[in-house]
Amino acid sequence: MRYYFINQEMKEFSLDVESKKGCLEFTVEGKSTPVYIKTLAGKNYFSFDQIKWQKLATLGVNETLVSNSEVYKVFRGFKPSGLNKGGAGALITQMPGKVVKLMKSVGDKVTKGETVLILEAMKMENEIKSGADGEIKSINVKEGQALDSGFLMVEIEEA
Amino acid sequence: MKSKRVLIINRGEIAIRVAKALNELGHVSVGVWTDNETEPPHLEFCQEWVHLKGNNNKDTYLNIPQIMDIISEYKIDGVHPGYGFLSENREFSEALAKKGITFIGPNPDAVYKMGAKDISKQIAKEAGVPVVPGSTGEVSTVEEAMKIASEIGYPVLLKAVAGGGGKGMRPCMDEKEVQANFEAVKREARSSFGYEGLLVEKYILNPHHIEVQILADKKGNVFHVFERECSVQRRHQKIIEEAPSPFIGTDEKLRKEVCETAVKCAKAVNYDSAGTVEFIMGEDKKFYFLEMNTRIQVEHPITEEITGVDLVANMIKVAFGEPLDFKSQDDIKIQGHAIELRICAEDPKTMLPAPGKIVGFETTFPTGIRFDHCIYPNFTITPDFDPMIGKLIAKGFNREVALRKVRSALDGLIIDGIKTNIALHKVILREENFEKGKYSTNYIGTIKPQDKVAEKESMESFMIKVAGIEMNSEVRP
């Protein structure tokens, strides 16, 4: 089974895992690493050496996972098509929020780093800036609209 | 004492904390849910559940008319506001008083007097409590600024009247710097705030945030429950708190002076509930009144841990005219040390809020740990509320033991699906200055532990995540 991890910048890596009895065998860059699993009193535990065991948090399938500052969309066994579109001209929400103010309209010219809209999350206002020089192609949000993470708010046609 | 019906007009971990105290005291805990939080975890501890209509705070937790309607409909005897929301709102406590409903907090007059910065400073001054020395009003010329500066002594801070958030202020070490900076701060004030009025204030070098817990009853008895130090802050908000203060340390004379000064402040406004008097303390151990928070505070558990005093239960008892659990100041003693880490849904490097859905949650803690939280798998942290989702509290025989325990607890705390500041706490708890207890409110800004947090963890940690998904029953029925 192949797992795809895709981060905020649409950079991805994958992990191959094969399920064996009492063990998950990972293959990363040709090197194989077994992770042993035991279930005890309804909780799961993992070990790399079958000596030291630690509690394993059961996680959701095809969800967002986090490692310190990095946020990953995780896909089990498949990679959705179309996720790689966008690039610097696509403004996608990195966190759920509410659109406070739209600073631009469709057809407006923008420069890289220019504020396109203001998104409010957790009592803080965040300026969402253009990642490229270009022209606003589409705006898919309205002022006051509440958005989930991963929403394509604005598309900018790169000049 | 007859059982009372108490409405908790709050959410998250503090609603759970209040509900636990109400249940233990034999009162009826009434919790609320709203349209933007239909499965709030705090209801687990509430005996009755009420719908607070609306999907934003203005229509729900801040909507006094709707709350008053619920109070009549559900025959509520008292209201606990928690912290934030309506906890320090005079209009709300007056509306309750008019209807004969008990507000579990101080009297409206105390809230009003301590809520207005200029009034509270004046009251403190009159009570003989030191406030940060400075100009009494705006300073219009550089000569005037230098005259005041030489009176209060250097260093001084040139500060925009309209300032805030660290903008429009500059420290000046001597007369030359005042001359050099005066016009610049004026310009900055005009461009940032549209108003160029300036103040001159004593600049406190490497200040410590020291606060004293107050517990008072309705009969005029005011006690202190010792101090907390909350100097680890970002954006002027605390992220780690300790009790007792490592800066005061073993200086019992200073501890007594700070605590008794706080009692003096509370008495000056006839305080009659749980509250906190905040001070700023310089390197020279001179301290000045900042403000009084007229509510139960986020960091109250560390005081409970080192004294054994249940602050929330006592706050409820005194509100209904019952006596406190203790009789005299001498009944309250410090035993050991406690540290609290605020666990927030935020990026551990930028410290900016990062809402999302929790998809994995496990704990493995040593003894001496208290975790006040509202976390469960599949809990969605919405952008509508504060990013704090839990408080990890460790109590130990001394500071070293408390540190040992809280480090171990942090290693056993797994939250996935959202960014949290757990990785930042791990760095701070192993950072030399923090370990030694030598830190001021400049800690995050100068030591920058956030820069030592790795962007991401090892490849093994990703294997563990995949193992966590593989063990999901949806994958392995």
A43 and A108, same domain (yes or no): no
Q: Per the domain annotation, does A29 fall within a domain?
A: yes
Residues in chain A within 8 Å Cβ distance of B386: 122-123
- Structural domain that includes position A153: 87-158
Q: What CATH topology corresponds to B142-202?
A: Dna Ligase; domain 1 (3.30.1490)
A10 and A53, same domain (yes or no): yes
Q: Which of A28, A74, A122 shows the shortest C-beta gap to B353?
A: A122
Is B90 one of the annotated active-site residues of the chain? no
Q: Minimal Cα–Cα distance from A50 to chain B, Å? A: 14
- The CATH number given to B208-459 is 3.30.470.20
A36 and A99, same domain (yes or no): no
Work out the mean pLDDT of chain B and round it to a whole number: 94
- Are the beta carbons of A64 and B357 separated by less than 8 Å? yes
- Are the beta carbons of B364 and A55 separated by less than 8 Å? yes
Domain at A95, CATH number: 2.40.50.100
Q: Per the domain annotation, does A68 fall within a domain?
A: yes
Q: Per the residue annotation, which of B295, B342, B370, B399 is the catalytic one?
A: B295
Q: Which two tokens stand for residue B151?
A: 């009176």
Q: pLDDT tens digits, residue range B194-236?
A: 788 888 999 998 999 999 999 999 999 999 999 999 999 998 8
- Are the beta carbons of B360 and A57 separated by less than 8 Å? yes
B6, amino acid identity: V
Among residues A44, A76, A108, which one ends one of the domains?
A76
Among residues A26, A50, A76, which one ends one of the domains?
A76
Q: Which two tokens stand for residue B243?
A: 């009790």
Half-sphere exposure of A100 (CA within 13 A, CB side): 14
Q: Per the domain annotation, does A81 fall within a domain?
A: no
Q: Minimal Cα–Cα distance from A70 to chain B, Å? A: 6
Q: pLDDT tens digits, residue range B134-156?
A: 887 789 899 999 999 999 999 99
Q: Which of A37, A59, A120 shows the shortest C-beta gap to B360?
A: A59
pLDDT of residue B142: 92
A98 and A66, same domain (yes or no): no
Which residue is associated with the tokens 């399920």?
A19
A6 and A70, same domain (yes or no): yes
A50 and A91, same domain (yes or no): no
CA distance from start to end of chain A: 41
Q: Per the domain annotation, does A70 fall within a domain?
A: yes
Q: Per the domain annotation, does A61 fall within a domain?
A: yes
pLDDT of residue B163: 66
A143 and A120, same domain (yes or no): yes
Which residue is associated with the tokens 């409206």?
B108
Nearest Cα residue to B124 out of B269, B282, B297: B269
Q: Per the domain annotation, does A71 fall within a domain?
A: yes
Q: Per the domain annotation, does A82 fall within a domain?
A: no
pLDDT of residue A98: 86
Q: Per the domain annotation, does A145 fall within a domain?
A: yes
Percentage of chain B surpassing pLDDT 70? 99
Q: How far is it, in rounded angstroms, from Cα A6 to Cα A28?
A: 16
Interface pTM (ipTM) of the complex?
A: 0.80
* Residues recorded for chain A: 159
Nearest Cα residue to A145 out of A156, A135, A153, A136: A153
Domain count, chain A: 2
* CATH match for B5-104 among 3.40.50.20, 3.90.950.10, 2.30.30.220, 3.60.21.10: 3.40.50.20
Among residues A52, A76, A100, which one ends one of the domains?
A76
A98 and A57, same domain (yes or no): no
A133 and A94, same domain (yes or no): yes
Check: pTM over 0.90? Answer yes or no.
no
- Are the beta carbons of B466 and A15 separated by less than 8 Å? yes
Domain ranges of chain B: 5-104, 142-202, 208-459
A100 and A144, same domain (yes or no): yes
Size of interface A-B (CB pairs under 8 A): 154
Residues in chain B within 8 Å Cβ distance of A98: 383
A9 and A66, same domain (yes or no): yes
pLDDT of residue A84: 45
- Are the beta carbons of B462 and A15 separated by less than 8 Å? yes
In contact, B300 and B314? CB cutoff 8 Å: no
Q: pLDDT tens digits, residue range B361-401?
A: 999 999 999 999 999 998 999 888 889 999 999 999 999 99
- Identify the closest residue of chain A to B387 by CA–CA distance: A122
Q: How far is it, in rounded angstroms, from Cα B110 to Cα B15?
A: 24
A7 and A63, same domain (yes or no): yes
